[in-house]
Amino acid sequence: MALPRSFKKALWVFHVATGSCNGCDIEIVAALTPRYDTERFGIMLTGTPRHADVLLVTGPVTRPMLSRLKRIYDQTPDPKAVVVVGGCGSTGGVFYESYNVQGPVDEVVPVAVYVPGCPPRPEAIIDGVVKAVAHLEQAGVSK
Partner 1 sequence: MDSDKINLELGCTTCTTQTTYSVPIGPVHPALKEPIQFTFRLSGERIVGVDIKPGYAHRGIEYMGMKRNLIQVLYLAERICGICSISHPLALTQAVENAAGIEVPPRAQYIRTIIGELERIHSHLLWAGVAAHELGFDTLLHLVWKVREKVMDLLEQLTGNRVDYAIPIYGGVRRDIPDEKAGLAYEALSYYKNLLQDMINAFLHDKSVAMRTSNVGVLTYDDAVALCAVGPTARASGVKKDVRQDMPYLAYADMDIRAITPEDYGKPVVGDVFDNIVVRLLEVDQSIKIIEYCLEHMPGGELTSIPKVAALLAVLKKADGEGIGRHEAPRGEVFHYIRLEAGVEAPVAWKVKAPTYSNLMSWVPKFMGDEIADIPIIAASIDPCMCCLDRATLVDQGGGEAVKLKEELVKLSREKTRRMCG
| Tally of CB atoms within 10 A around 131 | 15
Which of 3, 17, 124, 139 is close enough to bind partner 1 by CB under 8 A?
A: 17
Query: How far is residue 101's CA from residue 49's CA, in Å, rounded to a whole number?
Result: 23
| Residue 59 within binding range of partner 1, rule CB under 8 A | yes
Size of the site for partner 1 (CB under 8 A): 39
SS3 of 97-139: the string is: CCCCEEECHHHCCCCCEEECCCCCCHHHHHHHHHHHHHHHHHH
| Residue 77 within binding range of partner 1, rule CB under 8 A | no
| Residue 89 within binding range of partner 1, rule CB under 8 A | no
- Residue 57 phi, psi dihedral angles, 5° rounding: -110, 130
Amino acid at 101: V
| Residue 88 within binding range of partner 1, rule CB under 8 A | yes
Closer residue to partner 1 (CB): 19 or 79: 19
Closer residue to partner 1 (CB): 33 or 134: 33
Question: SS3 of 93, please?
Answer: coil
| Residue 73 within binding range of partner 1, rule CB under 8 A | no
| Residue 68 within binding range of partner 1, rule CB under 8 A | yes
Q: Which residues bind partner 1 (CB under 8 A)?
A: 16-27, 29-30, 33-35, 47-48, 59-60, 62, 64-65, 68, 72, 88, 93-101, 118-119, 121
